Each structure stands twice: as C-alpha cells, then as structure tokens.
Amino acid sequence: MGTVGKQAGNFLNIIGDLLRIQGESSEYVPEIAKQRLGDAMKKCGKNGVKATKEARIEIAELVKVLEASTPTRKPAYSEKMNGYWRLLYTDFSPAAPSSGQLGPFIGDVFQDLDGRANVIKNILKIGFPKIEGVLVAKQRIKDDVTWEITFDYVYNSFKTDPKYFDGKEIRLWEITYLDQDLRIMRARRPESSRESAFIFVLTREEEKLKK
C-alpha cells in the first residue's frame, strides 16, 4: 500500500473511532470533528477549490460525523439559519460562482439568509478585479430539514440590468448540521438523488463584516 493509501486508511480508522465513541454518547465528538474539519479545509484553498481527492474523502467523512450529532432538530424552522454566512468549503463541480469561481478568478462567497422574509441572497465578492454578484431567491420550507430555493434574479457590478429567471431554477438545501456558528448543507436539484448532492460548509459572519 502506498503512502496515500496508508494515510487514507489511518484517517478512516480515526473516523471509525469517532463514530464508535459517538455511539457511546461522548459530548466531545462534535468538537473534535469540527476541529479536524477546520484543519482539513485549511489545506484546500479558498472554498475548497484546490482540494485533492484524498482531502475530499476526509472532509466528506468528517461531515458525516457532524451530521450524526447535529444539535439542532428541525433546522429548517430554526432561527439559527438567519444571518450572514461565509462559505468555507464545497465540493461543487464544475467550478462556478456557487463555489466562488468566475472564469480564472476566485472570490469569497456569502449567504445572507432571512427565513422570516422568505428571501435569500447568494453573494460573490472578488477583490481583483473588483466584482460583486448577487443571486436573489425565494425560500420556502419543504420539510423539517429542507429549504426549497427558487431563483428570482441575479445582478452584478459590471452589468446594469439584472437577469430574471422563469421560476424553473430550483434547488433543495438539506440542512444536515446546524449550530450557532457552523452550518452544513447538501444542495441539489429536485430531480437529482441525495447521493448526488454537493456539500457546502459555512461559518457565521459578524454583522459588521457584511459591508
């Protein structure tokens, strides 16, 4: 077995230990998993765009550990969803504004959520050249863990007129982990299977950083 194979095997053993401990109701497992997840994401570049195959496997397994210990039941109804969030990692492919990439440029992705108004905004900010794009969408609760997102319109800083959608661009956000400062969701088209959903990991931003 090569070095990479050994590393993957050792990591999966660690995941197995975490899941076993979690089965014994250890209160520390989520914090351990969050720390390991944070360390793993730091090696993947902005938004995860430079993640290797091995890193994606590691992150996917850590996400599963956290999903099994989410502290928020019925997250689709939770006030914790509201606020301003920054994307830390996604395995979304191919590269697109959803993962912070616009052509050769990579920027920061934010989500401004207001479940009370049934409106969400996906925001892409690129520092150089200075570009900002915003996708505005309608939100409704589909079930205890899922938001249905219907694209409304998109605009950016280099075009004067927004582009409107016809109501047929819909995504499902399954919120699989939610605490006060971390959110994990699996996003997909309604006609796609859950297994094909993309992982998004986001952290809550302070209001003062919205500017």
| 20-77 pLDDT tens trace | 555 545 555 688 889 999 999 999 999 999 999 999 999 999 999 899 989 999 999 9
Same-domain check for residues 194 and 104: yes
Q: Going along 68-205, which residue ranges are E strands? A: 83-90, 101-102, 105-106, 108-114, 119-126, 131-143, 146-156, 163-164, 170-178, 182-188, 198-204
Same-domain check for residues 112 and 196: yes
Confidence label for 17 from pLDDT (cuts 50, 70 and 90): low
Same-domain check for residues 80 and 63: no
- Out of 25, 51, 67, a domain closes at 67
Same-domain check for residues 139 and 205: yes
Same-domain check for residues 40 and 120: no
- Nearest-5° Cα angle at 79, 30 to 202: 50
- The gap between the terminal CA atoms of the chain, to the nearest Å, is 50
pLDDT at 1 over 60: no
CATH number, domain at 178? 2.40.128.20
pLDDT of residue 18: 62
**Average model confidence (pLDDT) across the chain:** 87
Same-domain check for residues 56 and 104: no
Same-domain check for residues 90 and 164: yes
**Span 159-171, pLDDT tens digits:** 778 999 999 999 9
Under a CB-based contact definition with an 8 Å cutoff, are residues 183 and 195 in contact? Answer: no
- Out of 28, 45, 67, a domain closes at 67
Residue 62: how many CA atoms within 13 Å on its side-chain side?
Answer: 24
Report d(CA 52, CA 50) in Å as an integer.
6
The proportion of the chain whose per-residue pLDDT surpasses 70, expressed as a percent, equals 84
Q: Which two tokens stand for residue 127?
A: 């520092």
Report d(CA 39, CA 90) in Å as an integer.
15
pLDDT at 203 over 90: yes
Q: Read off the amino acid at residue 22.
A: Q
pLDDT of residue 208: 46
pLDDT at 115 over 90: no
pLDDT of residue 24: 46
Domain span at 146: 75-210
Count how many domains the chain has: 2
Nearest residue to 143 via CA among 67, 55, 70, 77: 77
The proportion of the chain whose per-residue pLDDT surpasses 90, expressed as a percent, equals 67
Q: Which two tokens stand for residue 154?
A: 């998109």
Higher-pLDDT residue of 95 and 184 is 184
Under a CB-based contact definition with an 8 Å cutoff, are residues 170 and 190 in contact? Answer: yes
Same-domain check for residues 104 and 25: no
Same-domain check for residues 158 and 197: yes
pLDDT at 146 over 70: yes
Same-domain check for residues 63 and 148: no
Higher-pLDDT residue of 150 and 99 is 150
pLDDT at 210 over 70: no
In sequence order, what are the beta bridge partners of 112? 84, 121
Same-domain check for residues 18 and 90: no
Q: Which two tokens stand for residue 101?
A: 């990439």
Mean pLDDT of 103-112: 93
pLDDT of residue 32: 85
Same-domain check for residues 19 and 118: no
- Out of 45, 67, 89, a domain closes at 67
Backbone angles phi, psi at 77, to 5 degrees: -100, 0
Q: Which residue has the tokens 């969030």?
A: 85
pLDDT at 150 over 90: yes
pLDDT of residue 22: 57
pLDDT at 184 over 90: yes
